[in-house]
Amino acid sequence: MSLQGKVAVVTGGAQGIGKAIVKTFLERKCTVVIADGDWEAGEETAEEFAPLGKVRFFPTDVAIENEVREMVGQTVGHYGRLDILVNNAGIFRGGALERFPLDAWNRVIGVNLTGPFLCARHAAPHLKAKEGAIVNIASTRAFMSEPDTEAYAASKGGIVSLTHALAVSLGPAVRVNCISPGWIAVDAWEKTSRRREPELSAADHGQHPAGRVGKPEDIASLAAWLASPEAGFVTGANFVVDGGMTRKMIYV
């Protein structure tokens, strides 16, 4: 499907799943703004993908409202429109509950949950004008956990709920959907200073009913579809993309 003529903001688009989404959107003829807090990664990705189409990097901490407001304003000022918002930016902090610092909790919630709220708030008038779409990136951690991951799990659970709330508030002009990735190997999609090939065992792949660990492209292709007119009757939904892991019963 083509996204030709549309303008998208992808937060956290400089690395990982976000970078794959940027690449996929560009390949579908979409203009893309990478909103990311990592200058090194953002500039590197924008330069790497420049041959694919119109792409620029705008340094943004999505937890800070003034930076979000400026990023959205600059995007619309430069390109004249905003059709798609992908809320992908996210961080992880883990630690034992009794010793987990409150400032770490607040930072995770700020980036992972408050950030999408702020981006949606400031993008909404422009998205409404173009009957646009929001795609939020949550996680299967919204539904299952490892120990000592309270902040991350709570933030991703909040994203799932924020999605259906926004879909009702912004509909019918704006569609809002969510993707919850499972295990996605992002090693090869990091900035050059951190990039490496994934080290995955047969057991890693074999525990997935689909037979393999996920790739960023698996998420990017769904994000492109959800952002396109082909998904015109889809809103308020959450799509679990995890190779079937959350459907697999495990007995010890």
Domain ranges across the chain: 7-247
How far apart (Å, rounded) are the C-alpha atoms in residues 136 and 158?
11
Q: Which residues is 87 bridged to in the sheet?
A: 136
Q: Which residues is 179 bridged to in the sheet?
A: 137, 239
CA 228 from centre of chain:
16
Confirm whether 152 is a catalytic residue: yes
Q: Tell me the CATH number for domain 7-247.
A: 3.40.50.720
Of the residues 152, 154, 176, 179, only one is catalytic, namely 152
pTM greater than 0.85: yes
Q: What is the pLDDT along the chain (252 residues), one digit of tens a residue?
A: 789 999 999 999 999 999 999 999 999 999 999 999 999 999 999 999 999 999 999 999 999 999 999 999 999 999 999 999 999 999 999 999 999 999 999 999 999 999 999 999 999 999 999 999 999 999 999 999 999 999 999 999 999 999 999 999 999 999 999 999 999 999 999 999 888 888 899 998 999 999 999 999 999 999 999 999 999 999 999 999 999 999 998 887
β pairing state of 31-36 and 55-59:
parallel
Structure tokens at 47: 């330069």
